[in-house]
Structure 1
Amino acid sequence: MSNHDVSDELLNQIETIRVQYKQRLVADRRKLSSILNGLTTETVEQCVENLHRILHSMSGSAGTFGFEDVGTESRRIDEILKKISTEQTSENKNTLVQLIKDEVTSFCELLSSTEILEEHNTTQSLRARSSKSPAQIDTPEHDEDIEVWLIEEDKTLAEQFSKQLVNFNFKIRTIELGQALEEAGIKGWPDATILDMDGYDFSELVDTNNAFYVKHESPGGLIMLSENDDFEQRMKAAKARALSFMKKPVAFPELIGHLEVVLNRKKVEPPRVMLIDDDKELCSLLKLELESEGMRVNILSDIKNIIPELAEFRPELLLLDMEMPDYSGIDIALLVRQHVQFESLPIVYLSAEQDIDKQAEALLFNADDFLVKPILYQQLISSIRSRIQRARVLNQLISKDGLTGLLKHAAIKEQAELEVKRAQREASPVSIVMLDIDHFKRVNDTYGHATGDTVIASVATLLRHRLRSTDIIGRYGGEEFMVILPNTPETAAFKVIDTIRKVFSEMEFVADENVFNCTFSGGCVCSEDFNSNVNASELTEEADKALYLSKNNGRNRVSKRVQNV
């Protein structure tokens, strides 16, 4: 789809929502007139409450749709009503009724005089924002080869790197520097480039700053190697816009780690946002705007389903209105926080409330930010992205293992529960695999714990690069791992894990002058081989039994479900 097509499609959707909002303004004007017709000294309290609901909603949304005067005036009258309703006495009710009639009648005349069909600035500003295609989130799948160029004049070292990198699903191409620059100028740089700075071609470069700047871009993932680790050499790498620098001789697991850091900068998952607001038109518009920025958005339609929908959608931020007909934003925030799994979920209030004291009070009730309607587009996007980014960093620290970068024990067990329940809802298979490094104590005792850590990290990296991006991997404990493969029957799961086992057994590890190999054993089970009520704990237990069957039968193998259970 071209940029133009995307813009037109988005603008058509926005205009459809604006038409719906125009119709709502007409309906709201009629509701206001109806309330005035029933306004008496006896009904004034109920009338003020009904007026407040309409005016408060309008003050938060009208400006977003281009009706700034309507938004400003509705907010002004709503503030007057709130003030006078708290100060009223039985003696001044007649004065109060007359004041309300004067203010609301004048406001209805404003609504009537507003040219509903007139094109407002909102569409034009959205056209400017939508002239580009929606932000594209680059999320390469792990089950596709990642192209890596290796610029290395030492043929022995190049051969060693190539042999090892292929095991991790990297598509390796050894290339000379001059040819790399020429081809990059035609088709751009690959996913990652490893360049030895000690080569003759690099040393001949005069302008390091611009040497790799071709086709209006620098290499997206440049890793530089050198025996020289001084300031000047590292500065050359920085000027060439290298994201990573490694001192030779390079330990292969360390190189893999640097490659992952470089590539992970590209793999940005789309932010997930859940919206809760009784203003349907505003919600629809916000959804379009956020999705045009590459976010995934879910509008909660039934507040009573909030916990199941949170568990299913797993939003990284909850954006909710402060004031709704039946429940306040504070009510919802407190309810969400009652559930342990959502204690750290960022919650942001979106409200027309401009009273600073009330905003501050609201933030005391388990929320992270307060945004005032109508909110500027860029402010909304920036606030959401910054909150989600900080939440991701925190989640990384909480849920990921420091050595391997995989999910910790509790986190992988939670994911297993979610995936098994999802498989049951969708009537699809999910396989669970338990893996354990063979004779790992012997590795630690013989080569030291640092080498043992390298072996563990290598298993984790191999799993990440050999499995799909939709598969879930965790360090279950010590040298034991759990793998969850959604939508995968046992036969397919067994095949992919057994292939990884064979690749791992051929990898070479170096400790001082010693070169050695390691193996792992595995146990594999699938949900479709059990009754429909099987849970994740039961599947994990069966996978563990299959793992120990592999251990008892000689290790370095993967076994399927133990059939006599």
Structure 2
Amino acid sequence: MRILVIEDDELTAQALTTILTAHHYAVEVAKDGKSGLALLDSFEYDLLILDVGLPDLNGIEVCRQVRSAAPTPDKPHTPQLPILLLTAYQSPHDRALGLDAGADDYVVKPFDEEELVARIRALLRRASSTGAPMLEWGDLELNPSSCEVSYGSTPLILTPKEYGLLELFLRNSRRVFSCGNILEHLWAYDAPGEEAVRTHIKGLRQKLKAVGAPADFIETVYGIGYRLKPLSNAALLTSTIPTSVEQEVRSKLGAVWTSYKERINEQIAIIERVACESDWTLQASATRQAHTLAGALGTFGFTEGSQIARNIEQILAGCPLKPRALTQLQELLATLRRVIDVPASSSAPICPEVTPAIANLATVQLPSILVISQDRDFLDALESEFLLWNYQCTIATTAKAVIKICQNDAPSLVLLDLDCFDSIATSMALLTSLQQCCSTIPTIVLTSHNELTERLEVSRHGGRLLLQKTTPIPQVLEAVSQVLQRALPTPSKILVVDDDIALLDALTVLLSPWGLKVYTLNDPHRFWETLETVSPDVLVLDLEFPDFKGIELCQVVRNDLHWHHLPVVILTAHSESETISQVFAAGADDFVSKPIVGAELVARILNRLERVRLVRQILDTDPLTGVMNRQKSTQELEAFLRSSDRSHQSVAIAVIDVDHLRSVNAQYGHAAGDAVLRQFGHLLQQSFCSEDIVARWGGEEFVIGMYGVTREDGVQRLMQVLERLNQQALTTENGEIVHVSFSAGVAQYPEDGKDLKTLYRTADLALRQAKRLREETHSQHTISSILPAESDVVLKS
């Protein structure tokens, strides 16, 4: 756990650092309030210890600024950061000032070490998902007081960082932590790289496994980070984890309601001061609180409470309030108190009925890897690394088993050890079989040799990436990750803007099970910077904020050249036709009435995402051939080059021209030429795997991007396409058979160019050479590449 101490007295700061470090906390010290606020803006902490008597900016003012700050996507919990005040003042008034400014607790100087540490533990416990002094997860127990850890009855001996890592997970048992999050929580200024986190995770898993814990006790969430593996129903003592998504969502909503019930009561208390004490200065605030309650209560299942709050809002809107209205207001408040004290029992559906296409759009599957090898040492090393990456791994040792697995449950990626079989011919035959039965599955090949002939054989038989068998296992998994990132879908991002924090947490619970990445913002003044930081796929806006309206934010989005296409969904507690007309007039795509019904909101957002997918498909795809267009492929190719720099892999860029297309147009008509291009584009899509880039750049010109492929391998792959083209005839719309050929040029990154423009020119130059050679030799089709020494490598068929 990471603690920031803001203390100007060097001796006190050193004493605090010594005490807290001894209890396995990571400590950073700031000497004044301004420096402390700067650190809070830059890093995430679990607790703030704050001296009151600071120079320039005193501790009370620092506390106020922390509490008034809006959450950001990378530091969403800063406004709720637990704050412990250190004060030399002992009067009740001085302590009250600190607590009113937002502090959670205080300790009077000179402090007692035991009391200080106990209060810190209490604050961290209150802020975490567990309130128990002893942290438990199944058979694992961690005692923060004695820093002792045991699994069952067996004690665990951990390093300080392993202890801190385990405590972090136990205090936030439902949260997923990225490597960056863990670094911020457990290290101070001298934080190491993310590899250090993986090393500590690996060591901790091994120690847990040694005392009987499951190997995946600490679970990897693909593409996100790490968390404690959810307990089975039998392992829970006080409650059960629901098996269905709907039950789980209801359970989480209940937990959110419990955490915010005190705040709800405070909102009702403000309204009661107007109704019972006739405090008219609070009437505007009370109206706002009633409006917020009307939207939030129904979301948590209190449908009647939501209606009562709406009636209260209507009464408070009148000015001045007559005695009869005050009486009615008091009666409604008493009823509202009774309603929210009874557990919610909403039967409204949470999970919508959606089409399979839309459901698949929101679901991100964990990748499965098929490993083909008989090397036991290699498999053991690979298995331990797979735990860090959370890949579903299947091992096959025979060709027959491989084909059966691919046909029954196709993996996301195949990892083939060429030494698995007695002869290279057997391995090549298996590669060919994989290409025939599941050509879209990328295959990474590991080999003990480094000859060009073997590389060419792998390329000819469908291998997509070739690595040396001596490559360290972590680098092999990095290569697997990069290939999968290009082949698998990424979660859609939703930005929800509402000033009701309880409602934001509820919406996060409702939307997250659908594979959506939810970002929330409760301060509309930070809307624009958050929008540009998050870059969401769908924007959800509340209709009303204290200073301006959601409609105005919607209009700002529609008036911006970059964001005008962004889908906007408005949340509104008003369903009058006039309000709805204003919503659509402002440019919103849809609206959802408060109180929010989970199923309706999810369905509307998923429908918006489906529309986004269709629009992007239209914008990114060449309408004639169905492959990528020039604009989209340029973005993807640039990404290839950046990834190549990080992983030191080559990239092959091919430029292809369909030969004699003008003759086809002249003889059969342009409709026939279009049919030829359409079928040729389909052939290219079939011939290259999903992570390769296939694009039409105009006319009869196509561009191919192949990651992890050399110039020679690229030429061989195009030769395979030529062979397939020779084996099938293209037909016009009238059924007439047309025989076509193509010429191509290939360039390699970074040898033939450091940027896409240069690579294209090099490949285009090779293409022109290939065309000249075809004319000179009367060959049907040629493929050419230019080596750095400017000598030609030309293959003819």
TM class by shorter-chain length?
A: 0.5 to 0.7
Deviates more, 1:367-376 or 1:395-404: 395-404
| Distance change (3 Å), C-alpha of 1:352 and 1:468 | farther
Is 1:480 equivalent to 2:704 in the alignment? no
| Distance change (3 Å), C-alpha of 1:167 and 1:339 | farther
| Distance change (3 Å), C-alpha of 1:374 and 1:403 | same
CA deviation map 1:465-492 (0-9, x unaligned): 344435554322112234456xx4464x
Match of 1:153 in 2: none
Deviates more, 1:422-431 or 1:382-391: 422-431
Distance, in Å, in 1 between the alignment partners of 2:251 and 2:570 is: 26
Q: Is the 8 A contact 1:429 1:489 kept in 2?
A: yes
- Of 433, 437, 456, the match for 2:657: 437
Distance, in Å, in 2 between the alignment partners of 1:135 and 1:514 is: 41
Is 1:118 equivalent to 2:343 in the alignment? yes
Match of 1:215 in 2: none
Is 1:557 equivalent to 2:783 in the alignment? yes
| Distance change (3 Å), C-alpha of 1:445 and 1:73 | closer
2:262 partner SS: helix
1:367 Cα shift?
0.9
Distance, in Å, in 2 between the alignment partners of 1:422 and 1:54 is: 50
CA deviation map 1:234-291 (0-9, x unaligned): xxxxxxxxxxxxxxxxxxxxxxxxxxxxxxxxx9979846141334443444444445
Is 1:171 equivalent to 2:444 in the alignment? no
Q: Is the 8 A contact 2:743 2:767 kept in 1?
A: no
Quick one: percent identity of the two aligned structures? Answer: 20
TM-score (norm 1): 0.59
- Gaps in structure 1 of 5+ consecutive residues: 149-165, 173-266, 532-538
Match of 1:276 in 2: 496
Q: Is the 8 A contact 2:295 2:595 kept in 1?
A: yes
Counterpart of 2:437, as a letter, is: K
| Distance change (3 Å), C-alpha of 1:386 and 1:30 | closer
Q: Is the 8 A contact 1:430 1:484 kept in 2?
A: no
- Of 749, 752, 761, the match for 1:545: 761
Q: After TM superposition, list the pairs within 5 Å mapping 1:247-396 onto structure 2.
A: 272=492, 274-278=494-498, 279-292=500-513, 294-301=514-521, 303-309=527-533, 311=535, 313=536, 315=537, 317-325=538-546, 328-396=549-617
1:403 Cα shift?
1.4
Distance, in Å, in 2 between the alignment partners of 1:321 and 1:414 is: 34
2:588 partner SS: coil
Q: Is the 8 A contact 1:472 1:483 kept in 2?
A: yes
1:404 Cα shift?
0.6
2:437 partner SS: strand
Distance, in Å, in 1 between the alignment partners of 2:672 and 2:433 is: 20
Q: Is the 8 A contact 1:434 1:522 kept in 2?
A: yes
Distance, in Å, in 2 between the alignment partners of 1:407 and 1:18 is: 46
Q: After TM superposition, list the pairs within 5 Å mapping 1:27-42 onto structure 2.
A: 27-34=263-270, 37=273
1:518 Cα shift?
1.6
- Gaps in structure 2 of 5+ consecutive residues: 1-229, 234-239, 371-402, 409-431, 439-486, 772-781, 791-797
- Of 703, 712, 720, the match for 1:502: 720
CA deviation map 1:123-176 (0-9, x unaligned): x955999xxxx95669999x999979xxxxxxxxxxxxxxxxx9995529xxxx
1:72 Cα shift?
0.8
Distance, in Å, in 2 between the alignment partners of 1:35 and 1:425 is: 61
1:11 partner SS: helix
Distance, in Å, in 2 between the alignment partners of 1:464 and 1:118 is: 56
Counterpart of 1:481, as a letter, is: F
Is 1:18 equivalent to 2:254 in the alignment? yes
CA deviation map 1:392-416 (0-9, x unaligned): 4455445432211133334444555
1:373 Cα shift?
1.4
1:78 Cα shift?
1.4
1:73 Cα shift?
0.9
1:372 Cα shift?
0.7
CA deviation map 1:60-110 (0-9, x unaligned): 12112111221111111112333x2xxx4xxx5xx46x6786566545434
Distance, in Å, in 1 between the alignment partners of 2:704 and 2:506 is: 39
Counterpart of 2:290, as a letter, is: L
Distance, in Å, in 2 between the alignment partners of 1:497 and 1:296 is: 41
Distance, in Å, in 2 between the alignment partners of 1:358 and 1:429 is: 56
Match of 1:183 in 2: none
Distance, in Å, in 1 between the alignment partners of 2:520 and 2:627 is: 31
| Distance change (3 Å), C-alpha of 1:428 and 1:389 | farther
Distance, in Å, in 2 between the alignment partners of 1:15 and 1:320 is: 25
| Equivalences, count | 422
| Distance change (3 Å), C-alpha of 1:402 and 1:9 | closer
Distance, in Å, in 2 between the alignment partners of 1:75 and 1:422 is: 54
Distance, in Å, in 1 between the alignment partners of 2:324 and 2:343 is: 31
Distance, in Å, in 2 between the alignment partners of 1:353 and 1:373 is: 8
Match of 2:54 in 1: none
| Distance change (3 Å), C-alpha of 1:128 and 1:440 | closer
Structural RMSD (CA):
5.0
Counterpart of 2:764, as a letter, is: Y
Is 1:50 equivalent to 2:285 in the alignment? yes
| Distance change (3 Å), C-alpha of 1:474 and 1:341 | farther
1:308 Cα shift?
3.2
Q: Is the 8 A contact 2:654 2:703 kept in 1?
A: yes
1:32 Cα shift?
3.9
Is 1:60 equivalent to 2:295 in the alignment? yes
1:7 Cα shift?
2.4
Distance, in Å, in 2 between the alignment partners of 1:345 and 1:435 is: 34
| Distance change (3 Å), C-alpha of 1:374 and 1:549 | same
Counterpart of 1:118, as a letter, is: P
Match of 1:458 in 2: 679
1:66 partner SS: coil
| Distance change (3 Å), C-alpha of 1:560 and 1:322 | farther
Query: RCO higher in 1 or 2 (8 Å CA, sep ≥ 6)?
Result: 1
1:369 Cα shift?
1.9
Counterpart of 1:56, as a letter, is: H
| Distance change (3 Å), C-alpha of 1:304 and 1:443 | same
Deviates more, 1:400-409 or 1:552-561: 552-561
